[in-house]
Amino acid sequence: MDAAGIVPEIIDVPPTQILKVTYPSGAIVDQGNDLTPTQVKDQPSVSWDADENALYTLMLVSPDLPEMIKDVIEWLVVNIPGNNVSKGQSVMDFCGAGPPSGTGKHRFIYLVFKQSNPIKTNVYIKEKEIEGRFRSRVRDLIKEHNLGIPVAGNFFRTEYDDYVPTLIAQLN
């Protein structure tokens, strides 16, 4: 994460664990490997070594949109008991990767944080909704919810492919 600029751009300290991320297509996220939007279009399974009595936050962040001073949150789940993501509270449903044509490779970063307290929110953004996914900085979200240092993380790179127009057409 240091070599990819994730530290210090997104987080100050790299996570101690590698988050296991596997997509239904069979694609596996592996510390900056190249995957296609087609391979990563469906919600993956994720796992990490978790304290079953603790709550966690999972986020997928895309910081590389051109001409923007914002990060895009592609997926956000809070109050996850242990590593059972399906039992957490979805704040932003998973949205696949859709980097614009001609903009090169974009980083997509998974981060997991151990929560010190339950997070209270009534925000809910559906899978194909784009409004509300843009943040001035993910750092603000981390600070707002006192998330601290991530306990697990992983990332991949992707660039435009033939699936992107399909994804864009589905977004409202």
Which residue is associated with the tokens 């051109």? Answer: 66
Please report the pLDDT score of residue 14 as a whole number.
Answer: 95
The radius of gyration of the chain's CA atoms, rounded to the nearest angstrom, is 15
Please report the pLDDT score of residue 69 as a whole number.
Answer: 60
Topology at the third CATH level for domain 6-170: Phosphatidylethanolamine-binding Protein (3.90.280)
Report the predicted TM-score, pTM, of the whole model to 2 decimal places. Answer: 0.94
Question: Cα–Cα distances in Å, from 108 out to 6, 41, 54, 73?
Answer: 10, 12, 26, 10
pLDDT tens track, the chain, 172 positions = 999 999 999 999 999 999 999 999 999 999 999 999 999 999 999 999 999 999 999 999 999 987 666 788 999 999 999 999 999 999 999 998 989 899 899 999 999 999 999 999 998 888 878 888 887 688 988 999 999 999 999 999 999 999 999 988 888 6
DSSP state for residue 125 in the 8-state scheme: B
